[in-house]
Structure 1
């Protein structure tokens, strides 16, 4: 895959804003009353996740529902993709009506051999700016994998040890919740809504819960444990797929002296499916 290294440094910009309708829909998905939607009102910074969709024409979508590779993202010759991790930094408030620009740059392309075969990680750095400067940064690790061989979509890691939880909240992702989140993000990835495709083409046992949805639900639950606090950063790692219609749990530790907390989602077996190291103070 050495020929892909020429894609490192490729960049593009997309404009967007946290509109009042988008914020109202996000609050509804989170089962909250509508927030203050007046221009300039602040909303949680992690709501940025529903902005800057990659709305490509229908004719430019791949078989998995994602935009075809080779326009911005490199033409990695591996068919399945997932977001393996992200590192989020929130630097200034996110406000209703605020014009925003996101610059995305490919910073690394790293082929590897994993438990499931060949892998390729594409690292993309997103920088979101508004009228007063940088609002947030997000560094994403996009993982590309080989086609399913029918033995399961991936070989999950051995269950990670879990710290003592200071709080736990039930999380029951159903198809409607997955649909609403995908609609908010304009995310066409078929593993989140087409169960036949998820099973037959990618080898999952059912619909896959969006990693972004799990992250959003987990950060929302954590902020409810710390009313009035500010979210500064969140380092997210996907550890195993979470399957729709199976009971899960959101959990977190008490903060240390610097406000750092470990947050995680447990699947129906009690294993960690997603982990976040967050700083909230």
Structure 2
């Protein structure tokens, strides 16, 4: 394994990139079908929370893809030498609605690169990226997002953290979600995500130490954000989420929502009582 040269990796702080996209109605309708959204999706309507992740898709030429299916490292994101790359969490501020059909400009900047040591996962490198979405027509800021990406080495197949002393038991009213392999395929296609952990089970087990296909962290976050909006009975002002444990194909995820003093706390719980993701959402102030 290559040595993690943090001075070199931190030289990526401040790197920027720009992109533009139209919030296409067809793409939104395909997302609705993927997660059984239920409600009709039409042009001119606000995009549901976190659905902006299905836009601004990047695609490196096939010859440039790494063995994990991601594009080459060292361009916009730093070339972290640790093999596994995952979404760790993020903080999203919803400033104005993203309207289906509008053209939007995206400005991204590397905010920070940090090295940490974990008893469970060993050496970790966290990269935080700031994304700002603006209406291309008037440049009004629509959304501000800080996205945390974590890099680490794979662990042996089957090795997992010990169960918590008191595994979480969801209430009887918790909503459940059991994605099929086709769900993972469709979400990967919508986001143009070539990461093989979501569709290549042999690669998952042999190369990254997972027992089966990994359910996308952003997919779980999107479902929690949708529940948060329902719980708050209105538009959200902010949504903060943190991934705690990976979820795998075959897992039924129980999604728990609790409202306290105008803020929603949400948990995505795995069958063994581990929490896959936790989130907090606040309501837009009048």
- TM-score, length of structure 1 as denominator length: 0.91
- Deviation of the 1:151 alpha carbon: 5.6
Contact 2:170 2:254 survives alignment (8 Å): no
- Deviation of the 1:232 alpha carbon: 1.6
Describe the superposition over 1:205-250 as per-residue Cα deviations: whole angstroms up to 9, x where unpaired: 11110001111122223334455x1122111100000111122211
Alpha-carbon spacing, 1:176–1:101, altered in 2? closer, same or farther (3 Å): same
What is the 5 A alignment of 1:4-83?
A: 4-33=9-38, 35-38=40-43, 40-83=44-87
Contact 1:109 1:123 survives alignment (8 Å): yes
Structure 2: gaps of 5 or more residues = none
- Cα distance in 2 between the residues matched to 1:170 and 1:150: 27
- Deviation of the 1:111 alpha carbon: 1.2
- Deviation of the 1:194 alpha carbon: 0.6
Task: Say whether residues 1:251 and 2:245 are aligned partners.
Answer: no
- Cα distance in 2 between the residues matched to 1:202 and 1:166: 35
Describe the superposition over 1:16-41 as per-residue Cα deviations: whole angstroms up to 9, x where unpaired: 12101111111111213463423x32
Contact 1:166 1:251 survives alignment (8 Å): no
Aligned equivalent of 1:188: 194
Alpha-carbon spacing, 1:151–1:31, altered in 2? closer, same or farther (3 Å): closer
What is the 5 A alignment of 1:86-235?
A: 86-115=90-119, 116-130=121-135, 131-132=137-138, 133-150=140-157, 152=159, 155=161, 158=164, 167-227=173-233, 229-235=234-240
- Cα distance in 2 between the residues matched to 1:77 and 1:36: 42
Alpha-carbon spacing, 1:161–1:278, altered in 2? closer, same or farther (3 Å): farther
Q: CA RMSD in A?
A: 2.2
- Deviation of the 1:101 alpha carbon: 1.2
- Cα distance in 1 between the residues matched to 2:41 and 2:158: 48
Task: Say whether residues 1:85 and 2:95 are aligned partners.
Answer: no
What is the count of residue pairs matched by the alignment?
A: 276
Deviates more, 1:143-152 or 1:114-123: 143-152
Deviates more, 1:196-205 or 1:142-151: 142-151
- Cα distance in 2 between the residues matched to 1:224 and 1:156: 34
Aligned equivalent of 1:237: 242
Aligned equivalent of 2:275: 272
Contact 1:178 1:193 survives alignment (8 Å): yes
Alpha-carbon spacing, 1:92–1:156, altered in 2? closer, same or farther (3 Å): farther
- Cα distance in 1 between the residues matched to 2:154 and 2:165: 24
Structure 1: gaps of 5 or more residues = none
Contact 1:164 1:253 survives alignment (8 Å): no
- TM-score, length of structure 2 as denominator length: 0.89
- Cα distance in 2 between the residues matched to 1:16 and 1:144: 28
Contact 1:159 1:271 survives alignment (8 Å): no
Describe the superposition over 1:48-83 as per-residue Cα deviations: whole angstroms up to 9, x where unpaired: 121112211111211101111011111111111111
Contact 1:162 1:272 survives alignment (8 Å): yes
